[in-house]
Chain A
Amino acid sequence: MGSNRIRLGMGEGVVASGPHVVSSTGIGSCVVVALYDARRKAGAMAHVMLPDSAALRASAGSYQCADTAINLLLAGLQYHGSLLQDLVAKIAGGARMFSTYDVGTNGIGSQNIRRIKDILQRNRIPLAGWDIDGQHGRSVDFDLASGKLIVKTLGTTDKVF
């Protein structure tokens, strides 16, 4: 039973345990949220596109929006036996890919980050690491055996946390 690479596209999420690596690539203004339970070596990850499902009628129960995504991740982990107090979060993304003058810190990337931090805080889940903002795309690998998030950006060294 070897380890498995699970690939997440935009707006997708997964809950898993075991020696797997969950990967997602091409992350610009989107944010990848990873939750880890070190006790059970279980994790959940979502590739979030938008901050708020209230603005989208059809996305209830989907990983596309920060609020519904985090609900799904938490529900999934708890269903399989994780306790809320054992969970930590790691996030990556929320970049501003094109420099324009009309957006400042209110681009969709920043909105996603703010919303996700807010929701994690309300659920009392500590943020154990992050690689956010900036102007470059990212790819991430979430290693469920160790709980580490490896973040790659074109032209720089990988960040691991």
Chain B
Amino acid sequence: MDRADPLSEEDLDYLVELFNIGAGNAATALNQLLTCQVDMRLPGVSVTTASLATDAVGDSGAPVTCLRMKMVGDLTGYMFFVVADDQNVKMAELAERSMLGPQGRSPEPERVSGILAEIGNILAGVYLTAIHDFCKLQVSHSVPVLAVDMLQALLDEAIAAQTEATQTVLLVTNEFAVDREHFRTYLLIFPTGDSINALVNSIKQARELYGFKQD
């Protein structure tokens, strides 16, 4: 695989556009999961480094809830769905309430993990679908595994795996609101090996062929 040229402004716009569409699908999917109106802001998308992404998520010593998924196929590497620790219970309560009606007590800790795994699964899935639809790359993700700990400790293995080939991390910030409760979640995509080149090359090709023409 030839080393790709860096992403141009237009390439980046295309990437943002396809993640916007992914976000739209995520909102629909979350509407269905939570059986209520989910208002989703357009996602923030940036192509960055692991250390900048970690800083963007927040205090590196604070605990976060994190789901890790492996990417297999045309893109390899890891995806992490991250929720700050003060939000995870709120999110699970919301899901629980919507599924079972008002409960009057918080869900059991095991339920919280299960619900967050479902939400993370959905969000990861819609973005990979968008990548498939717009870049023609076949990628699937593994069943999410959950851990709660300091963000850097949870990411360090993925960061170490990237050391040689590429330092690129895609950071997608999803903010959504349900019943005036506001949530912010992060998806960190760590491509490994040559797959970052595959992604960049396919974005460039797809933009040539299908690109959103706006002059």
Q: Are A and B bound to each other?
A: yes
Nearest neighbor of B54 in chain A, beta-carbon distance = A26
Interface centre among A26, A29, A64, A100 (most CB of B within 10 A): A26
Given A10-B159, A50-B160, A50-B163: A138 and B153 within 8 A (CB)?
A: yes
Pick from A58, A98, A136: contact of B164, CB below 8 A: A58
Q: Taking the complex as formed, is B154 at the interface, i.e. its CB lies under 8 A from any CB of chain A? A: yes
Q: How far is the CB of A50 from chain B (nearest CB, A)?
A: 5
A28 touches B152 (CB 8 A): yes
Q: Taking the complex as formed, is B25 at the interface, i.e. its CB lies under 8 A from any CB of chain A? A: no
| CA–CA, A30 and B152, complex, Å | 10
A154 touches B150 (CB 8 A): yes
| CA–CA, A25 and B54, complex, Å | 13
Q: Taking the complex as formed, is A49 at the interface, i.e. its CB lies under 8 A from any CB of chain B? A: yes
Instruction: Mark B99-137 against chain A: 1 for CB-CB distance below 8 A, else 0.
Output: 000000000000000000000000000000000000000
Given A25-B60, A136-B149: A57 and B164 within 8 A (CB)?
A: yes
Q: Taking the complex as formed, is B5 at the interface, i.e. its CB lies under 8 A from any CB of chain A? A: no
Query: What 3 A-B pairs have minimum CB-CB distances, sorted nearest first?
Result: A26-B152, A137-B153, A28-B153
Pick from A58, A99, A137: contact of B154, CB below 8 A: A137
Nearest neighbor of A135 in chain B, beta-carbon distance = B147
Q: How far is the CB of A105 from chain B (nearest CB, A)?
A: 15
Which chain A positions have C-beta within 8 A of B146? Answer: 98
A139 touches B163 (CB 8 A): no
Pick from B145, B151, B152, B163: contact of A64, CB below 8 A: B163
Pick from B60, B149, B160, B164: contact of A97, CB below 8 A: B149
Which chain A positions have C-beta within 8 A of B10? Answer: none
A9 touches B51 (CB 8 A): yes
B154 touches A28 (CB 8 A): yes
| CA–CA, A56 and B154, complex, Å | 22
B129-180 CB contacts (< 8 Å) to partner A = 145-147, 149-157, 159-161, 163-164
Q: How far is the CB of A155 from chain B (nearest CB, A)?
A: 8
| CA–CA, A154 and B64, complex, Å | 11
| CA–CA, A107 and B51, complex, Å | 23
B150 touches A137 (CB 8 A): yes
B63 touches A10 (CB 8 A): no
Nearest neighbor of B68 in chain A, beta-carbon distance = A98
A154 touches B63 (CB 8 A): yes
A97 touches B163 (CB 8 A): no
Which chain A positions have C-beta within 8 A of B51? Answer: 9
A97 touches B63 (CB 8 A): no
